[in-house]
Amino acid sequence: MSDSAPFKQPESVLVVVHTPTLGVLLLERVSPPGFWQSVTGSLEPGETPAEAALRELAEETGLTVDSGRLVDWGRTNRFEIRPEWRSRYAPGTTHNTEHVFSLCLPAPCPVRLAPDEHSDYVWLPQAAAAARAFSWTNREAIERLPRGGRSCE
Q: What is the pLDDT of residue 85?
A: 79
In tens, the pLDDT along 58-80 reads 999 999 998 889 999 999 999 88
- Give bridge partners of residue 25 from the DSSP assignment: 123
Q: What is the CATH number of domain 11-148?
A: 3.90.79.10
Instruction: Evaluate the CA torsion angle 75, 104, 121, 54 in order and state its sign.
Output: negative
User: Is pLDDT at 2 greater than 50 in this prediction?
Assistant: no
Cis peptide before 110 (omega within 30 of 0): no
Counted residue by residue, the chain has a size of: 153
| DSSP code for 133 | B
The kind and range of the H/E element at 61 are: helix 49-61
Across 123-145, average pLDDT: 96
Give the H/E segment covering residue 15. Answer: strand 11-18
d(Cα 66, Cα 137) in Å, to the nearest integer? 25
Q: Give the separation between CA 42 and CA 82, rounded to whole angstroms.
A: 14
SS percent in the chain: helix, strand, coil, step 5: 25, 35, 40
- For residues 47 and 2, the model is more confident at 47
Residue in 10, 148, 124 with CA at minimum distance from that of residue 73: 148
Q: How much is the pLDDT for 48?
A: 97
Considering only residues 147 and 24, tell me which one the structure prediction assigns the higher pLDDT: 24
